[in-house]
Structure 1
Amino acid sequence: MFMPGHPSISYSQLVKATDSFSPTNLLGSGSFGSVYKGELDGQDGESTNLVAVKVLKLQNPSALKSFIAECEALRNMRHRNLVKIITACASIDSRGNDFKAIVYDFMPNGSLESWLHPETHDDQTEQRYLDLAERVTILLDVAYALHYLHSDGPVPVIHCDLKSSNVLLDADMVAHVGDFGLAKIIVDGSSIVQQSVSSMGFRGTIGYAAPG
């Protein structure tokens, strides 16, 4: 899928970047897709770029709507507190099946949820901790992102699934809001919500979502 202003990318490039979508590169998995860490070759001999590749689970009927929603919501958005889409891919995989993926900037410090609710597997796992100042800074980053989405972007966008697992932290611990698969775009000049952007009905995480 070509997005204006974004470089094109092929299925074979993503296979190479993720070492054939190796389980060792799997960052996480949800109902709509799985996210892999990857390394894309830089242009003009530059060093490789770390990326996160979200591969859509197209066997889920809502995954395609999620893919379209996320591309539509983010393709013209530019803000330091939004996860940046590098490009998207709509192709055929090695088995002849439809393949769709979105490529993002890689966030080295993972999600806010992983800091608030760490999974400790053994005594050797380093305990990560956010002090009060860091938590307030992250809250402000998220607030800046929402203000941009609602008021300052090209068109008003409602995220519809904001939670700590969708807030990602870069190398400098700057927060970026991501996962716009359930987003609604408000049509200019009216209060009508664009129906075609995503599935209708209940939106967001069902049940309890840990507060950010």
Structure 2
Amino acid sequence: REGAFLNATAISLSGNKRLCGGIPQLKLPRCVANRSKNGKTSLGVKLMIALLTPLLVLGFVMSILVINRLRKTNRQSSLASSLSSKQELLLKVSYRNLHKATGGFSSANLIGAGSFGSVYRGILDPNETVVAVKVLFMRQRKTLKSFMAECEILKNIRHRNLVKILTACSSVDFQGNDFKALVYEFMPNGTLESWLHPFPRTNGIDEDLKILSFHQRLNIA
């Protein structure tokens, strides 16, 4: 070293105020790790996730419930609109009308029963129209779906071998329970089953026994 640098040290750190750490001979201050900010950020993220997760789950569940309710409402409204579209062709009946027509759904007027409902013979006022009233069992889960499907199919089908549907009733009974029924044209000759599989009366008298020939059965098939 010569000249102006004769008395200068090998290392000069003047003007670098933010230097820290290094070898002890430099006598620099210790470096302090700034972890408090990162720690606070991590804690805030955790709290946000803990608060938002239940809200997201609740929102998802509520969305499913609302969608199911809307689907059910749309099915019922579509049924109502499909029936009202041919309102001029349908009879207007209430639960009270059908209750009166069937004698209070008397067993004396019972024609038959199935897995989804019972069928009664009835007389509707004021034209004294003889009808068959199919009352659905509302306690079964698939009853509403069966009711809507049958209405939708039968209202668009006209065939000489199919019984004609006259109207439908969707209401409540005198106790406030859901009531749904289909009103058909009454067939005085009985059901197809009674013709294909006739059986004698319990008193043993076979005078009213229905018998179909082979050709008649073939035409039905």
* Interval containing the TM-score (normalised by the shorter chain): 0.5 to 0.7
Shift of 1:113: 1.6
Q: 1:37–1:106: 8 Å Cα contact kept in structure 2?
A: yes
Query: Which position in structure 2 is the counterpart of 1:28?
Result: 112
Shift of 1:119: 3.0
Q: Secondary structure at the match of 2:142?
A: helix
Q: Secondary structure at the match of 2:96?
A: helix
In the alignment, does 2:99 pair up with 1:19?
no
Name the TM-score, length of structure 1 as normaliser: 0.59
Shift of 1:78: 2.1
Query: Which position in structure 2 is the counterpart of 1:81?
Result: 161
Q: Which protein has greater RCO, CA pairs closer than 8 Å, 6+ apart?
A: 1
> Greater share of strand residues, 1 or 2?
1
Map of 1:33-72 to 2, 5 A cutoff?
33-42=117-126, 46=127, 48-72=128-152
Q: Which amino acid aligns with 1:11?
A: Y
In the alignment, does 2:219 pair up with 1:129?
no
Q: Which amino acid aligns with 1:16?
A: K
Deviations 1:12-43 (A, max 9, x none): 1001110000000011111111100111124x
Q: Secondary structure at the match of 1:24?
A: helix
Q: Secondary structure at the match of 1:61?
A: coil
Q: Which moved more, 1:1-10 or 1:53-62?
A: 1-10
Q: Which amino acid aligns with 2:185?
A: D
Shift of 1:103: 0.2
Query: Which position in structure 2 is the counterpart of 1:90?
Result: 170
Q: Which amino acid aligns with 1:134?
A: Q
Dislocated runs of 4+, deviation >6 Å: none
Q: Which amino acid aligns with 2:213?
A: D
Shift of 1:134: 2.4
Q: 2:92–2:167: 8 Å Cα contact kept in structure 1?
A: yes
Query: Which position in structure 1 is the counterpart of 2:180?
Result: 100
2: CA distance, partners of 1:106 / 1:127: 20
Name the TM-score, length of structure 2 as normaliser: 0.57
2: CA distance, partners of 1:10 / 1:117: 35
Shift of 1:53: 0.4
Percent of matched pairs sharing the same residue = 54
Query: Structure 1 residues 127, 82: CA separation in 2 closer, same or farther (over 3 Å shift)?
Result: closer
Shift of 1:136: 3.1
Q: Which amino acid aligns with 1:60?
A: Q
Gaps of 5+ in 1: 140-212
Shift of 1:75: 1.3
Q: Secondary structure at the match of 2:120?
A: strand
Query: Structure 1 residues 114, 133: CA separation in 2 closer, same or farther (over 3 Å shift)?
Result: same
Q: How many residues align structurally?
A: 135
> Greater share of helix residues, 1 or 2?
2
